[in-house]
Amino acid sequence: MSVPVTVRLTVNGVPREGRCEPRKLLVDFLREDLGLTGTHVGCEHGICGACTILLDGQAARSCLMLAVQADGAEITTVEGLARDGGLHPLQEAFHEHHGLQCGFCTPGMLMTALDLLRVKPDADEAEIRAGMSAVLCRCTGYHGIIEAVKAAARKLARSATEGRT
């Protein structure tokens, strides 16, 4: 029915709840109902990748899911990356390597890179370029983004060998 539904889900480790129409997109639910505006709305048809979040640990487009479909799911948004006031190694790498300019695509870039490096921690440059082509950036020309993901891969590999993640 098109009557409002209750959606209960976990976002960045915190149980959250809201009521919305079934037609509400997950990205709009995160932004408007839960106040998590870090995830951006771009093209609304799955091309630009700005709205990419982790759904049960895997990158997915939050503009191509209804909020009601995420009932019971675990979502990670860009707000969930930083820990104890410190940036995530990926965020640090984007900062150090000029992986952003206007910042609009950055949440999608970070969540996409996070999934990519979990699936393939030893991704080479060609694999990183192919993987990161899932998100469009209109200002940096991608070079800084690719350098940042390469640097983050090295950093994450190092911390994994040293036993701290």
Partner 1 sequence: MKPPRFDYHAPSSVDEALALLARYGGEAKVLAGGQSLVPLLNFRLARPAALVDLNRVSGLAYIREAEGQVRLGAMTRQRAIEFSPVVAGRVPLLGEATRLVGHLPIRTRGTIGGSIAHADPSAEYPAVLTALDGEVVARSPRGERLLRAGELFRSYLTTSLAPDEILTEVRLPAAPAGAGWAFEELSRRHGDFAIVGIAALVVRDGPRCAMARLAAAGAGAVPVRLRAAEEILEREGLGDAAIDAAAARAADLVSPDSDVHASAAYRRHLTGVLVRRALHRAAARAGARG
Chain residues that interact with partner 1, rule: CB under 8 A? 1-2, 5, 21-25, 28, 44-46, 49, 52, 55, 58-61, 63-66, 68-69, 112, 115-116, 119, 130-131, 133-134
Give the residue with the Cβ less far from partner 1, 18 or 64: 64
- Closest contact distance (angstroms) between CB of 162 and partner 1 is 28
Q: Which two tokens stand for residue 57?
A: 């640990």
Amino acid at 144: G
Cβ proximity to partner 1, 19 vs 95, nearer residue: 19
Q: Kindly state the tokens that stand for 61.
A: 């487009």
- Write down the least CB distance from residue 163 to partner 1, Å: 26
CA-CA distance, 56 to 76, in Å (whole number)?
8
HSE at residue 68, side-chain half, CA atoms within 13 A, is 12
Q: Are strands 74-76 and 5-11 parallel, antiparallel or unpaired?
A: parallel
Minimum distance from residue 138 beta carbon to partner 1 (Å)? 14
Decide if 66 contacts 22 (C-beta within 8 A): yes
Instruction: Check: CB of residue 61 under 8 Å from CB of residue 49.
Output: yes
**Shortest gap between Cβ of 69 and partner 1 (angstroms)?**
6
Please, which residue, 56 or 158, has the CB nearer to partner 1? 56
- Both tokens of residue 154? 């090295």
